[in-house]
Amino acid sequence: MQASAQHEGIAANGNAKLGEVMQAIADHKGCGTSGGSGKASCGSGAGQGDLPTEIWEKVKNHPCYSEEAHHHYARMHVAVAPACNIQCNYCNRKYDCANESRPGVVSEKLTPEQAAKKVLAVASTIPQMTVLGIAGPGDPLANPEKTFKTFELIAKAAPDIKLCLSTNGLTLPDHVDTIAGFNVDHVTITINMVDPEIGAKIYPWVFWKHKRYTGVEAAKLLTDRQLLGLEMLTERGILCKVNSVMIPGVNDKHLVEVNKAVKSRGAFLHNIMPLISAPEHGTVFGLNGQRGPTAQELKALQDSCEGEMNMMRHCRQCRADAVGLLGEDRSAEFTTDKIMEMEVNYDLESRKAYQEKVEEERVAKVAAKQEELSALAGEMSDIKLLVAVATKGSGLINEHFGHAKEFQVYELSTAGAKFVGHRRVDLYCQGGFGDEESLETVIRAINDCHAVFVAKIGGCPKADLQKAGIEPVDQYAHEFIEKSAIAWFKSYLDKVNSGEIEHVERGDAEIRQGALITAA
């Protein structure tokens, strides 16, 4: 609250700018491909499209708001918010917030001052780190003093870093002016339902104004506050993303309705994430056997909502102290002990120079993709298929099969290559030898894919993948992903057309639920 008063001046200036941006969002009527669906979210895909420049400027280097940016830019979280004011059945307070984190990983909690130091240390080491998010391990707005103090310190010390916030939304309406005052341009609200009857199956209680509410009453209070907060934010031109956890049999069908409700209130992006639920997490859902969705169930729901608004499909359900590109986690390099010993050299100019190089790389990538796409022009085929890609970032096929901790998944069709998700896997290579058990989990994770693109692969896994009907492709090592995928797809279509191969549909794949198994 104190912070809010201190920043009234900023709020007034900020709101004038935000008002213009809001108008731009309102004026933006979709990508020109969706028949005027009003989807204001092309920025989450590749390139600016017809997104207004002022919005593009906000999303173009935010790894969560732009799928294309997530190959190049990193985010970091600081775990300054330990308390929570609601209980979700998929969360165990011993672990990070499951809304914005992978359950099963305990964070180091920081004071705002430690957090500011950490941000400078990371910004000096990782010049492509552009966004600071506060996402737990509890709810940032259940810890408003710590959250806003952190934003205040970082805005002063590292003015080029975007501020981002993720909340369950219960107290959001009380903090909207403060959020705007700190120029927090990106807010995520986790909204799992707009029907309190369904909400009662997800939330056993909420704690509001010194009182505990349970059942339908609790869920009604929560949904009303979430939707009000969303409306208030979008009125001020703050870009809002809605996260929803897909819980089969509980809210899976209902999420289409949630999608409509949040779109009509101006949400910019909808991120439907799979429930991660295993008994070892100690959550209500984990213990009562509630399953998460399969890969194809998740994709089908995301596809069905995509006509309404753009879907985020590259979320990694990060931990509350995550650092790095979305698919990697460098948090272990930045523990408090290590930060204290680090030489911090936060230099705006060198960060800018590095990011300019990244932009050049992005332009080259888009040009390569366009060139390859023109080779597909005139191809007539209904075939759509998935391929998995091993990458360390920069939009390149630059990871060995055995070193991949995740695979990115692209859908290929005559329209081109579209990012549709990722699959986390256990490392196949365990310090010099291949782990057969891990290979089985990798195959289950990408079982719906026709091919897997890698920088390199050994003979054994190659043979096993082929046996499972997944073609290992290493001929495009260190080349751009989309360009290579399109080139491979063209040759696949040629082989189908000539009768050399027959196109067969693949089955479903598993989304991993348990703790990661990695080499020490």
State how far the Cα of 436 lies from the Cα of 445, in Å rounded to an integer.
14
319: tokens are 């931990």
- DSSP, collapsed to helix, strand or coil, labels residue 418 as strand
- Per-residue binder mask for ligand SF4 (CB under 6 A), 135-174, x = binder: -x-xx----------------------------x------
Q: Single out the residue of 46, 51, 74, 91 in contact with ligand SF4 (rule: CB under 6 A).
A: 91
323: tokens are 């650092």
State how far the Cα of 63 lies from the Cα of 104, in Å rounded to an integer.
23
Strand partners, 407: 423
Least Å from the CB of residue 283 to ligand CLF: 17
The contacts of residue 395 (CB under 8 Å, 6+ apart) are 71, 72, 361, 362, 365, 480, 481, 482
Task: Give the residues lining the site for ligand CLF (CB under 6 A).
Answer: 64, 75, 77, 100, 131, 133, 135, 164, 166, 186, 188, 271, 315-318, 326
* Chain centroid to CA 253: 22
DSSP 33: S
389: tokens are 């890609």
Least Å from the CB of residue 310 to ligand CLF: 14
The contacts of residue 208 (CB under 8 Å, 6+ apart) are 85, 170, 171, 221, 225
Nearer to ligand CLF, 192 or 414 (CB): 192
- In the list ligand SF4, ligand CLF, none, the entry touching 135 (Cβ below 5 to 8 angstroms by class) is ligand CLF
Nearer to ligand CLF, 401 or 419 (CB): 419
- In the list ligand SF4, ligand CLF, none, the entry touching 202 (Cβ below 5 to 8 angstroms by class) is none
- In the list ligand CLF, ligand SF4, none, the entry touching 411 (Cβ below 5 to 8 angstroms by class) is none
Q: Which of residues 94-123 bind ligand SF4 (CB under 6 A)?
A: 97-99
Least Å from the CB of residue 137 to ligand SF4: 6
- In the list ligand CLF, ligand SF4, none, the entry touching 331 (Cβ below 5 to 8 angstroms by class) is none
Name the one residue in this structure whose structure tokens are 């108008």: 23
- Burial class of residue 159, CB neighbours in 10 A (0-12, 13-18, 19+): exposed
Least Å from the CB of residue 488 to ligand CLF: 28
State how far the Cα of 52 lies from the Cα of 54, in Å rounded to an integer.
6
Q: Single out the residue of 44, 66, 87, 408 in contact with ligand SF4 (rule: CB under 6 A).
A: 87
Nearer to ligand SF4, 127 or 196 (CB): 196
Least Å from the CB of residue 270 to ligand SF4: 18
Residue whose Cβ sits closest to ligand SF4: 91
Work out whether the CA dihedral 255, 260, 264, 267 comes out positive or negative.
positive
Residues found near ligand SF4 in the complex (CB under 6 A): 84, 86-88, 91, 97-99, 136, 138-139, 168
